[in-house]
Structure 1
Amino acid sequence: MTVEEFEEFYAHAVRSLIGQLFLVAGDLREAEDVVQEAFVRAWGARRKLDREGSPEAWVRLTATRLAISRWRRRTRSAEAWLRVGSAAAAAAEPGPDAVAVARALRSLPARQRLAVVLFYVCDLPVEQVAAEAGMSAGTVKTHLSRGRRALAPLLDDSLEEHDV
């Protein structure tokens, strides 16, 4: 199928396919999306379409399968949210201390921040921090020392503000 033949096929079939898929999907935008995606796939499979001789049926079947797949994905997603929704709703927002810590950590250089988080938040030993961060153990210790020194005044001040 040449470019001109494909363009002619598209112009002839697109509106009726969108109408058909609207009935399947129940949503015009969804129908337009799956039909467009099916045409994109048809362009890649145009040699196969020439041999099979029914390109409109191929595009319709592909679009229908896409619509059903999307519908199933949305259904599974909605069911998953219902299952965990109550747990997610119960999760508390970060308190002022957690926000202050995050803000203070952002002030550190990236490698120093990485070492501090892996050591203090993830509770990893220095050797593992070194391996994961690609640093020597001595460099990790230096970053931890400098990080503590840089964070101390930032966290002491911010914590005092919230205690008042």
Structure 2
Amino acid sequence: MAADDAAFAEFYRGAYPGLVAELYAYTGSMAEAQEAAQEAFMRAWSHWRKVGSYEYPRAWVARVGYRLAVSRWRRARSAMTSMLRHGPPPDIAPPGETSVALVAALSQIPEAQRRAVVLHHMGGYRIAEIAAIEGVAEGTVKARLSRGRQRLAELLADGERADEDENKEARHA
């Protein structure tokens, strides 16, 4: 394995700068060139035993890099076409104080409870659907929802009390 690591590291050091230069000339964007080259080398690394045995492993990486660059270009072109056809996405108002407080409180409850609460109350999923998504029993989902709601209520009440205290202090100042 150490030999594979060393061989790949040498290959990468030797081939990466040239591939980035090629892709930069091809795409006209240094950022796109670097991203495509990095992704191509990541793919080469994950298949290094096979790719490293090729007569021209750099050609394989270059082909992958060019295909990635073209794929990115096609996605960008499709997005532009869509925007021209349908117009830009509508402006979305920034979140209000209530949303910010809710998200802050959600971030303080355990992840499983947070997912259950968000899936149920924001995603509109039924308990059976959440159980299927999570791969747990419906009773587990019900318990997570109950505990999550209880903890959220505590956190949001604590936040309201803190806001009230700040408002009292501001009035007396």
The question of whether the paired residues in 1 share the 8 Å contact of 2:127 and 2:142 is answered with yes
The question of whether the paired residues in 2 share the 8 Å contact of 1:97 and 1:159 is answered with no
Within the alignment, does 1:86 sit opposite 2:88 as a pair?
yes
> Is the partner of 2:121 in helix, strand or coil?
helix
Shift of 1:28: 9.1
> 1:46-125 residue pairs with structure 2 within 5 A?
46=55, 67=66, 70=69, 73-74=72-73, 76-78=75-77, 80-81=79-80, 83-84=82-83, 86-87=88-89, 90-125=91-126
> 1:127-138 residue pairs with structure 2 within 5 A?
127-138=128-139
Shift of 1:26: 7.3
> Given residue 83 of structure 1, which amino acid in structure 2 is its aligned partner?
S
Aligned length: 135
Specify every segment of 5 or more residues in structure 1 that has no aligned partner in the other structure, as ranges. Answer: 1-10, 50-58
d(CA) in 1 for partners of 2:150 and 2:29?
59
Specify every segment of 5 or more residues in structure 2 that has no aligned partner in the other structure, as ranges. Answer: 1-13, 45-50, 168-173
> Given residue 86 of structure 1, which amino acid in structure 2 is its aligned partner?
P
Moved more, 107-116 or 149-158: 149-158
TM-score by length of 2: 0.50
Bigger Rg over Cα = 1
2:141 aligned partner: 140
Shift of 1:141: 1.8
1:149 aligned partner: 150
d(CA) in 2 for partners of 1:116 and 1:91?
23
The question of whether the paired residues in 1 share the 8 Å contact of 2:120 and 2:127 is answered with yes
- Provide the alpha-carbon RMSD of the alignment: 4.6
Identity of counterpart residues, as a percentage?
Answer: 29
> Highest relative contact order (Cα 8 Å, sep 6+), 1 or 2?
1
> Is the partner of 1:86 in helix, strand or coil?
coil
1:53 aligned partner: none
The Cα offsets for residues 23-68 of structure 1, whole Å up to 9 and x where unpaired, read as: 96375955xx87xx7xx8x97542xx7xxxxxxxxx6xx9699658
d(CA) in 1 for partners of 2:115 and 2:70?
41
